[in-house]
Structure 1
Amino acid sequence: MVNALPVSVSQPPRRRSPMMAQAIRVALAFGLLASGALHAQDTGTTPQTQGNDTSDTKAKTLQAVTVTGSLIRRVDLETANPVTTIDSGQIAASGKPTLGDLMQSLPSVAGNATNPSINSGGGTGASTVSLRGLGDNRTLVLVNGHRVAYNDVNSIPSNMIERVEVLTDGASSIYGSDAIGGVVNFILKDHYQGVQVSADYGESSHSDGNRRSFNLLAGLSGARAKFIVSITHQTQNPIASGARDYSAYTLAFRNGQVVRVGSSATPTGLIQNASGTNVTLNSGVNGITTLADYHPYNSATDSYNYAPYNLLLTPQDRTNISLFGSYKVTPDVEAYFNLFYTRTSASSIIAPVPIFANSDDFFIPSTNYYNPFGLNFGTDRTTGNGYNDFDIRLTSLGNRTYVNKTYDFQFTPGLRGNFGDSSWQWNVDFNYGKVRQKTLNNGFLDYSAFEQAIGPSFLSGNGVVTCGTPSAPIANCTPINIFNPNDPASVAALRKLVVNPDSFYRYTLEQFEIGANGELFDLPAGAVNLAAGLSYRRESQSDGTDTPTAIALNNGPYAGLCGVVEFCATQLSGSYNVKEAYGELFVPVLADLPFAHSLNIDIGSRFSRYSLSGTTTNSKVALEWKPVADLLVRGTASQVFRAPDINELFAGTAGGADAATDICNGYTGGHPQACANVPTDGSFQQSNPQLGVRGSGSVAAGYDLKPEYGHSFDYGMVYDPHWLPGLSLSADAWRIQLRDTIVDGLDPTTILNECYYSDRLCSLIHRAGNGQISYISLPTVNLGETSASGIDSTIQYNFNAGDYGKFNLSLASTYMQRYDVDTAPGDSAVPVTHCAGSYCSVYGEFPRWRGLATLNWNKGPWSASWTMRYVGRTRVGSTDLSQGYSADENIPGIVHAIGAYVYHNISGSYTLAKYHTTISAGIDNLSDKQPPMFYQWGSNGNTDAYTYDLIGRYYWMRATVSF
C-alpha cells in the first residue's frame, strides 16, 4: 500500500455548509414537533400506514420495496427521489444486445462518457454513463444496490435485468462517494422458471458493422430455492472511418473554409532545409538521397491522410456467464448470491507510428552518414538546443493497434431475513469484484535503439556504415537511413527495432456491509422508519507493462521520455480503505388533512473515514408534500462528496498525443514561464498540432490530491390525475455545485491557459531549446469549481384503445440551463468556461435540450415500438474572445452552429404462441442521418462520437424461443 497522501483526522470545516446544517436541524425539529403536536391533538386517531395494514406485518413486508435513492422500504413508488425506470420490456423492444446505447440515449446523460465508437482513446468495448455531463466517475453504477468493480454497462447481461432505475440526484448520504451526478442501479431478475434461448443478427445499410449475439436464460423456482443462469455471447465487426464519406478525411475550419487536414509526419517526410523552408522526398527514390531528390513541401498534396486507418466502430467479442441463487434456510433467514463474469475482447487501430524529431526529443545530427543536408534536426538533449524540424511516418511498420482483453468478475454472497414477526429486516453481505485488463500494443519502436540508429554514423574502413563515431563506434547497432525510410534496407533495419509491449491493469474491490431497516414507532400520519448500517470497503490497483517503457522520468536529459516511441507506461500500485456508518430516517408528519393528503420528511446522513482522504460527513433532507392525492410536490437538498478514486491516485505514467494549439504561436513576449525558449519576434508556430502528453495519477506526479465536495438541490412535482387514469406528469429543477473539482487527466489547452494567464501549472509544460513543446504532463489534480443546473420533465400515458390495442406513450426531456467550469475561482485573468448550449472539447457536448419519446403498442400476438431521440442545437466556438475558443483555427471568435438532430428507431414483434417463439425486427436510425460535422482537428470521425450515431441506418432481427 502506498501512503503518499497525508491523512486528515477530521473533516475540513468548510465542507459543512451552515445553510445545509441549519436546514437539517430545522427539518428534524419540525418533523418531531409536528408529530408530537398531532399526538397531543388526537390520541385516539388510528395511525395512518400509507397502504400498509399494521395487523398484518408479513403482508406489509411483501408490499414494501426499496427504490433507488433511499434505504427505506416504501409502498409509494413516487417519492422525493427523481427516478427513471427502464423495464425489461423496453430493453427487449430496443433490440440492443448490450445496454450502452440504451443508457446513453437518456436525456439526463451528456458529456463524454465512452462507447465503442471511440477509437482514439477507447477500444475497450466499454460504455459508461455520465449523468448531468459530470463524467462517468461521478455516476455511481450498482447491481442490485451493490457497487460494481467495472462501470462498463455493456458487461451487464441484458437478459438478466428486471429493470434499471436511474436516480438523477446527488446521493452521497445514501451510497457514499461517486454518487454526485446520480446513480444507475441494475436490478436483476430474482426468479425465473423455464428456459429461454434467443439469437440476434444486425447489419448496417452499408453492409458492414455486422453483429451477432446468442443468449440463454434458464431458471428454477421452488418454495425454498431459486436459481437462474444466463449465458450470452456477442460479436461486433468494426467499421473503418474510410467506409463513410464524412470521415474519410480529417477536416478543419480554417480562414472561413472547410479544408482537408493531414499530418506533417508523412511517409516521405517533412524536412526543414537550410533556408528554413520545408521539403519532402520525391516518390520512388531508393538508396542514399541527394538534395535533388526533394521538392518543396505542399500541405495540400503532401500531407498524410491518417483518417481511413481509424475506426468508427471498434470490434468486440464479449462472453458473459451470470448466476443468481437463493435458499430459505429458515422461514426468517434466506441465503443468496449474485455472480457474473464477463470477458471482453476489443481493439482500436490508428495510423502507423509518426516521428516528430523536436516534440519527440530525437536528434538527427549533421554527422549522420545519410544526412544530405549537413544540418542538425530535432532536439539535442545534452545541450538543450532545438534545431530544424524533421517529421516522418513509418508506414512500413504497419498500423498501430491496441488489442484489449478485459476480465470482469463480481461475486456477492449474503444473508438476509426478518426479526421474527416485526417489520424489521436485516442484511449481511460481502461484495467482491476483480477486473483484469491486458493490452497488447503493436507497431512501436524501441526508443534508445532507434535514437542510436539515426544518430552519428560513419563509413568504416571495411566499407560498412557504422553507428557512432570513428573514435566511439556503437556495437550491435545498424544505422538507419531515416531520410529514405521506405528503402528496403531501411525497412529491414526498422523492423528489427519494433517492440510490441504488453500493458496491464488490475483492480480489486472488497466490501463488507451490514444493515437493518424497519419501523421505530407509529405516529398519527404513519410509522417512523429507520434504516442504518455499517460498511467497510477496500480498493486496490496495480498497472504496468512487461517492457521497460519509461526512462528516468524525473532527472537528467532523458527526463519524461519514453522507452518506446509513442508509447509510455510505468508500474505503480496502491490501495486504500474506507469505513462508513450511515442512517436514514423517514418521518410521516401529516396525513389525510385539508391541503395535506400527506407530508413526509426523509433525512439521511453518512460518516466516512478514508485511509488516504480523511473523514467526512454528508447529509440530505428531503420533503414530500401531497396537498391532494393526485399531486406530489418534492424537494431534496444534499451534500455531495467524492474521494479520489483508485485510478486517480495510483494510475502510472502513460504517454499519448492530444490535439491542441500552442498559446505561444506568434509570441512577442510578456509570458516567460508559459513560452520558455520561444522567440519573441512573432514568427513562432508550433510544428505539430498534436502535442505529446504524459498522463498519470496524482501519486506518480507527486500531487496531493484532495476530495471534491459540494451540494445538490432538486425540487419539482409529480401529477397523476385521477380524472385521466394512466397519465403521469413530472417536472424537476436541479442544481449541482462542486468545489475542488478533481480533473482526471488535464487537457493541454487548460494547462497552457493556466500558465499563460496566471502562471499556474507551468511546471507541467516541457519545451525544447527552440521553443517547441516536447510534452505536457497531465496529472490528476484539483482544479476550481463546477456548477450545473437544469430542468427534467416527463410525460407518461398508458391507455387501452379497445379493438385497436394497448398503447404506452412516454416523453422525457432535459433542459441544460447552465454548465460552467471555473478553473481559477477569483482570478479574473482566467475565463470561466461556459458549456451549456455548446460543445466543449474537454468536457463534451451540452445542447440545451435533449429528449427521448417512445410509443409502444401491443394487440394480441403483435407489438411494435417507435423511439425518437432528440439532440438539440449546439455550437462550436464562442464570440466571447475571453473564452479563447473559436470554430476557426485561424480567426478568433467564430461560431459554427450545429442544428438539432432527430433519430428514429422502429421495431416490431410477433409471437407464435403454439411454438413459444417470438420473432422481432427493427431499424435504427431510420432516416440514415449522417452525424454533424464539427471540424475539430483530432476528433473521432470529424464529429462528436460521444453523442451522435456514426453508423447510419441499421437493420436487426431476433428470434426468441421459450420452453
Structure 2
Amino acid sequence: MYRPTLTRAVRAALGGSLTGTGAAATAILGCTALPAMAQSPAPSDSSDKLETIVVTGTHIRRVDMETSSPVFVIDKSQIEKTGKLTVGDLLQQTPAIAGGATASNPQVNNGGGNGASTIDLRGLGPARTLILVNGRRLTGPSPDVNAIPINLVERVEVLKDGASAVYGSDAIGGVVNFILRRDYQGAEVAVDYGVSGKDDAARHGVSMTLGHTSDRGSILVGANYNKQEEALAVDRDFAKDALYLSSGVASPAGSSRTPRGRIVLPDAMLATFGCTNASNGGSVTRIPGAAGDSLDDYRCFRGADDAYNFQAVANRVMTPQERASLFIVGNYRLTDSVEAYLEAFHNKTSSSSAIAPLPFDARTDNVLISADNVYNPFDIDFGRNGDNDTGRNLLLRLESLGNRRTGFGVSTDQLNMGLRGGFGDSSWQWDASFTYGHFSQVSSNSGFLYRPGLQAALGPSYIDSAGVAHCGTPDATIAGCIPINPFNPSLTPEGFQSLSAQFKNTTTLIQREAEFNANGELFELPAGVASLAVGASYRKEYQNFAPSFLNTAIGPDYTSCYLANETCTSPIVGDFDVKEAYAEVFLPVLRDVAFAQSLNVTIGTRFSRYSTFGNATNSKIGFEWRPVEDVLVRGTIAEVFRAPTISNLFAAPASNSPTFQDPCIGLDVPVGVNANIDRACQFVPRDGSFGGPLNGQTTGLVTGNAHLQPESGKAFTWGVVYDPNWLDGLSTSMDVWRFALNDNITALDVNTIAQQCYTSGNLCEFIHRFAADGQVFYIDQPTLNLGRIDTKGVDLGVKYRLPETAFGNFRFGVDATYTAQYNQTIFDQSGRPTGVIYGAGHFNRQIGNFARWRGLGSVSWDKGNWDASWTMRYVGGFRLGSLRPDGDSADGTFKNVVVDYGARTYHNLQAGYTIEPINTRIDVGVDNVFDKKPPILYQNNVVNANTDPVTFDTVGRYFFARVSVKF
C-alpha cells in the first residue's frame, strides 16, 4: 500500500524547527505512536501502533500525518528551550494570532491582571478559538491556557481551520489542542529564573515530574510553581507618561480628574476668572499649595499642564502573578482489550492589577455637592442627584484612598476519566469518557468610596461653636457622618478614609460532559480502506457571577451603585445543556494512477441540540490529492458556529468605561439641517465650542440577551504542501484561508453606536446625553446578533535541514501569515448593513491589531551536547486611524487623522548544553536582544502603556536560565 507520508513525516521531524508543518511531524521519532486526540489504546501489534493515529481536526484514525487541514505544532523540547514558564507566553507569538483588543495576557494591566492568557486565532476573538486538552474542552468562561501545567504538556497542536463539524461550538477560527505526556519512566526536576534588563519583572520557576511505566500501564505525577514579578510603567520611557495625540500634537497629558480638581462653573462665573466657556472645556482648578477656601485660590485649568499623569502612579507593563499546579495522568490495562485512563490537574493562580487612585465625577457618579457644604467656596451646587442635574461639575482624583487594586484568586480543576478498548480482532476502537471541570475566580477590589455616605458628607454641613464640622444642619445633624472637603481632600483625610470601601466579585463555572466515540475501518475500496468515526456527547455548563451588594447596579438606569459607577455590575446566573452526535467518513478515491498517486475525501457532520436556542447542524468536506509523490494539495469547506454563552444570554446591566471619541466635537451644523446629526448630538451646542468628554472615556452599559441565536458561517482553506525527494530536509507549505461569519454575537461598541447614529441615524436610541450641556451620560451596549466578519489571507511555511556538516547540524524555519482582509460589517436592527470596520493593515481600538504580515523565523544548530537557536518574531507595519468619514481617527480632536507605523522584529537567542554524566541540561537565553520598544499608539486610542500590549513586548530585553536534571 502507498504510504509516502510516513517517510516524509519522519524527515520533517528530523529537520524540525520552532514550528511544525505536519500535524505530527515532531512526535514520531523513535517510531512511537502519537497519543490520539481521543487517547485510544494502541493495539498490541507494533506495526499497527505506528500506523494508527488521530491528529487534531479529525476523529478518523489514519496512517497519514498530513491531512486536509493545516496544523501548527510546538513540542515539549521547543517549549523548554524558550525559557517560558507558561504555554500562553509562547502561543501568543503564533503568526496566525491577530486582533486581541480585549485578549488577556500578563502585560495587560488596565482591564487585565488575572494572570490569564487567551488565544485569538485569525483575530476572530478568543471566544471563537476552541481550547482542548487531549481533545476535551478546557473549563473556563474564556479558557486560560496558563491553567495547564507546562511540564504536563507533550506538545501543542494548533489547527488553523474551522472545525465545528468535528468539535462543535467555538471552533471557528481554529482549535488549540494540548496533548499531555504519558508513558514516562523516571524523574526530572527543572529550575528556571529570568529577569529584565531593567532589573525587574523577575520570574522564578520550579517543576518536578515523576513517572513509572509497566506492561499493564503507566502513571505520571508532577507539580510546578512559578512566580512572575511586576514591572512598572514609570520605569519604561515609552510608558511613564500618559501620551495623547490631540489637535495634531503628540504630548504628555493625562486625566482631567486631578488631585487639585477640575471645576466646571457657569459661563458667567468662568468669565470672572478669564476662562473660556464650559462647553469649550473651560474650567478652573485649585492653585498648587492654596487652601481652596477662597475664590482667590483658583485659576483657569490649563489643559495638559494641569492634567494628572496616571501612568506614573501605579500602572504596570507586567502584572505580578503566582501559580502552582498539580497533576496526575495514568492508564491501566484491565484486560487485553480494555484500558482505564485518568487525566487530572489542578491549577491555582494569584495575580493582581493596580491603576491610579479613584477618579470622581460628580455628575457621572450621581452625587450632588451642596452649595451649603462648609467647604464649598463657590456657593453653588455641583453634580447631579437623579433628574436634578446642575450642569456644573467637579472632577477629582482621590489620592487619599490610595491606588485602585484588584487581587485575583483563580482555581481551575479538570478531570478526564474513562475506558477505551477495541472490538475483538477488528480495527474498531471505542472510548467512553467523563469530563468534569470547575473554574472559580474571586476578585478583591480596594480603593473605592461608599457613595451613599459620600452624598451625605458632601451635602449641607455646618461648624458648631467648638469649631467642629458636622453633616446636615444644626436642627438635623446626620450622626456618624464626617463632612469632607472635595475642593482640597488633603484637609479632610479622615472623612475620606471613613468612606473607604472594598468589595469582592465571585465567578464559578462548572462543566460536565459524557462522551462516547468509536472509529474503525468500513470496507475495502480499490484505492484503500474506507473508515468511519462516530460519537455522541452530553454536556452541561453552569455559571454564577455574584458581585458584592456594594457594586450591584441599581435601577432604573443601572449606571450607579453604592460605589463608583465604574464598579457597577449585575449578577449572572444561568446554565444550558447540549446533546450532540457526529459522524465522519474517510473515503480513498484514487491511488497509484496518472496524476493521482492518491486522492482522499473526508466528509463529516455534527448535530447539536441546545436547551437555549434549539438545533444546529454543521458539516464539512475535505480532500487530499497527491498528483505526484512530493506534492500534497489539500482543502476543506466547513460550516462553523458559536453558541451564545451564559454571559451572552443572561448578563444583567453592567457599567464599563470605554475609550470614546464623540463625533459631535466642534459641531457647528445648525439644528434642522441634518436629522441624523440632530439625533446623535441632542443638546450639544452648535457654535463649534463642544469639546466632548473631558477624559476621552465615557460610560457604557453592557447587557445580555436571552433571545440570542448562534453565530454561523463558513471556513474555507486551500493549500499545497511540497516535500521534494530531491532535496532531503526541505518542507514547504502554503494555505489560503477565508472565514465568513454571520449573526455575530457582540456587545455594540460605543464608538460604533455614536458613529452610526451620526452618519446614518441608526442606533441613536442607545445614546443618552445630559440636557444641560450635551455631554454623554451613558451609552447602552446591548448584546445582539448584529454584524458579519469576513477575513481572508495566506499562511506560509518553510522548513529546511541542511545536510550534516563538520560544524554540526543546522535547521531553518519560517512561518508567516498574511491577512488580506478583515472586514467587520455593522447592521442595524432591521438587518440592513450600515457601515464597515476595515481591519486589515490597521489597529482599531475595538477589534485590535491586524498588521498584514506576521511571521516567526528560526535558525537552530546542534553539535554533540551543544545546541543553540535564534528566533525572530515579525509584526508588519500598520495604520492607526482612518480617512473614512465613519472611521476611527488617530487624533483625539481632529477627524480622519491617520498615523502609519513601521514593522517590528524581535530577536531571541538561546543556547544549551547537556552534561551527560550527571543527566543535567543547562539553557540560557535572551529575549528581545536589541531591546525593541513598542510603537506609541497614544492614550486616546488605548488604555495600557500608550501601546498595544497584546501584540508588542512591553518589558524589553529579558535574560533567562534553566537547569533540568533527570534521574
Matched, 1:605 2:624: no
Matched, 1:131 2:121: yes
In 2 relative to 1, CA 464–760 (structure 1 residues): closer, same or farther, beyond 3 Å? farther
Structure 1 letter corresponding to 2:804: A
Q: How far 1:572 sits from its partner (Å)?
A: 2.5
Q: How far 1:585 sits from its partner (Å)?
A: 0.5
Partner of 2:110: 120
Counting only pairs closer than 5 Å after superposition, residues 182-193 of structure 1 correspond to structure 2 as 182-193=174-185
Instruction: Output the CA distance in 2 between the equivalents of 1:796 and 1:382.
Output: 67
Given candidates 816, 821, 824, the residue that maps to 1:818 is 821
Structure 2 letter corresponding to 1:552: I
In 2 relative to 1, CA 590–661 (structure 1 residues): closer, same or farther, beyond 3 Å? same
Partner of 2:355: 350
Q: How far 1:517 sits from its partner (Å)?
A: 0.3
Structure 2 letter corresponding to 1:517: N
Given candidates 150, 174, 187, the residue that maps to 2:166 is 174
Q: How far 1:767 sits from its partner (Å)?
A: 2.5
Given candidates 74, 82, 88, the residue that maps to 1:86 is 74
Matched, 1:299 2:308: no
Partner of 2:219: 227
Partner of 1:421: 425
Question: RMSD in angstroms over aligned alpha carbons?
Answer: 1.9
CA offsets 1:557-609 (integer angstroms, 9 cap, x no match):
xx421221131132231100100010101000010111110011100000001
Partner of 2:338: 333
Matched, 1:794 2:793: no
CA contact (8 A) 2:624 2:633 kept: yes
Counting only pairs closer than 5 Å after superposition, residues 726-745 of structure 1 correspond to structure 2 as 726-743=729-746, 745=747
Q: How far 1:776 sits from its partner (Å)?
A: 2.6
CA offsets 1:278-298 (integer angstroms, 9 cap, x no match):
211123344x71111112211
In 2 relative to 1, CA 360–70 (structure 1 residues): closer, same or farther, beyond 3 Å? same
Instruction: Output the CA distance in 1 between the equivalents of 2:915 and 2:757.
Output: 68
CA offsets 1:697-724 (integer angstroms, 9 cap, x no match):
514xxx6222110111000111111111
**Structure 1, 101-110 or 356-365: larger mean CA deviation:** 356-365
Structure 2 letter corresponding to 1:123: G
Instruction: Output the CA distance in 2 between the equivalents of 1:960 and 1:892.
Output: 56
Instruction: Output the CA distance in 2 between the equivalents of 1:542 and 1:551.
Output: 17
Partner of 1:878: 882
Gaps of 5+ in 1: 1-54
Partner of 1:49: none
Q: How far 1:95 sits from its partner (Å)?
A: 1.3
Instruction: Output the CA distance in 1 between the equivalents of 2:241 and 2:74.
Output: 39
Partner of 2:646: 646
Q: How far 1:620 sits from its partner (Å)?
A: 0.4
SS of aligned partner of 2:357 = coil
**Structure 1, 299-308 or 439-448: larger mean CA deviation:** 299-308
Matched, 1:903 2:902: no
Instruction: Output the CA distance in 2 between the equivalents of 1:404 and 1:761.
Output: 36
Q: How far 1:376 sits from its partner (Å)?
A: 2.2
Counting only pairs closer than 5 Å after superposition, residues 303-322 of structure 1 correspond to structure 2 as 303-308=307-312, 309-322=314-327
Given candidates 143, 151, 159, the residue that maps to 2:133 is 143
CA contact (8 A) 1:933 1:943 kept: yes
SS of aligned partner of 2:69 = coil
Matched, 1:99 2:104: no
Q: How far 1:686 sits from its partner (Å)?
A: 2.4
**Structure 1, 232-241 or 467-476: larger mean CA deviation:** 467-476
Structure 2 letter corresponding to 1:209: A
SS of aligned partner of 1:70 = coil
Instruction: Output the CA distance in 1 between the equivalents of 2:613 and 2:132.
Output: 23
Given candidates 688, 691, 699, the residue that maps to 1:685 is 691
Instruction: Output the CA distance in 2 between the equivalents of 1:248 and 1:437.
Output: 31
Given candidates 752, 755, 780, the residue that maps to 1:753 is 755
Structure 2 letter corresponding to 1:715: W
CA contact (8 A) 1:624 1:634 kept: yes
CA offsets 1:888-918 (integer angstroms, 9 cap, x no match):
2233222211101111101011111001111
How many residue pairs get aligned? The number is 897
CA offsets 1:675-714 (integer angstroms, 9 cap, x no match):
3333344432224234343554514xxx622211011100
SS of aligned partner of 2:81 = helix
Partner of 1:468: 472
**Structure 1, 640-649 or 394-403: larger mean CA deviation:** 640-649
CA contact (8 A) 2:559 2:701 kept: no
Given candidates 264, 269, 285, the residue that maps to 2:261 is 269
CA contact (8 A) 1:435 1:506 kept: yes
**Structure 1, 770-779 or 940-949: larger mean CA deviation:** 770-779
In 2 relative to 1, CA 773–471 (structure 1 residues): closer, same or farther, beyond 3 Å? farther
CA offsets 1:852-877 (integer angstroms, 9 cap, x no match):
01122111110111101111111111
Partner of 2:496: 494
SS of aligned partner of 2:89 = helix
Partner of 1:207: 199
SS of aligned partner of 2:923 = strand
**Structure 1, 727-736 or 780-789: larger mean CA deviation:** 780-789
SS of aligned partner of 2:626 = strand
Counting only pairs closer than 5 Å after superposition, residues 249-288 of structure 1 correspond to structure 2 as 249-273=241-265, 274-275=269-270, 276=277, 277-286=282-291
SS of aligned partner of 2:199 = coil
SS of aligned partner of 1:452 = helix
Instruction: Output the CA distance in 1 between the equivalents of 2:804 and 2:438.
Output: 50
Q: How far 1:381 sits from its partner (Å)?
A: 1.8
CA offsets 1:303-344 (integer angstroms, 9 cap, x no match):
111012200000010001111010000010000011011000
CA contact (8 A) 2:701 2:778 kept: no
CA offsets 1:910-947 (integer angstroms, 9 cap, x no match):
11100111111000001111111112424311111110
Structure 2 letter corresponding to 1:870: Y
CA contact (8 A) 2:553 2:569 kept: no
**Structure 1, 254-263 or 169-178: larger mean CA deviation:** 254-263
CA contact (8 A) 1:509 1:537 kept: yes
Structure 1 letter corresponding to 2:859: L
Structure 2 letter corresponding to 1:268: R
In 2 relative to 1, CA 582–541 (structure 1 residues): closer, same or farther, beyond 3 Å? same
Partner of 2:857: 853
Counting only pairs closer than 5 Å after superposition, residues 655-734 of structure 1 correspond to structure 2 as 655-667=655-667, 668=669, 669=671, 670=675, 671-699=677-705, 704-734=707-737
Instruction: Output the CA distance in 1 between the equivalents of 2:519 and 2:802.
Output: 37
Structure 2 letter corresponding to 1:328: R
Structure 1 letter corresponding to 2:130: L
Partner of 1:944: 948
Matched, 1:550 2:552: yes
Partner of 2:36: none
Matched, 1:481 2:485: yes
SS of aligned partner of 2:822 = strand
Instruction: Output the CA distance in 2 between the equivalents of 1:683 and 1:926.
Output: 49
Partner of 1:18: none
Instruction: Output the CA distance in 2 between the equivalents of 1:622 and 1:829.
Output: 32
Partner of 1:237: 229
CA contact (8 A) 1:169 1:712 kept: yes
CA offsets 1:18-52 (integer angstroms, 9 cap, x no match):
xxxxxxxxxxxxxxxxxxxxxxxxxxxxxxxxxxx
CA contact (8 A) 2:447 2:500 kept: yes
TM-score, normalised on structure 1?
0.90
CA contact (8 A) 2:189 2:964 kept: yes
In 2 relative to 1, CA 866–253 (structure 1 residues): closer, same or farther, beyond 3 Å? same
Instruction: Output the CA distance in 2 between the equivalents of 1:192 and 1:829.
Output: 56
Partner of 1:931: 934
Gaps of 5+ in 2: 1-42, 271-276
SS of aligned partner of 2:725 = coil
Matched, 1:568 2:568: yes
Matched, 1:842 2:846: yes
Instruction: Output the CA distance in 1 between the equivalents of 2:171 and 2:555.
Output: 35
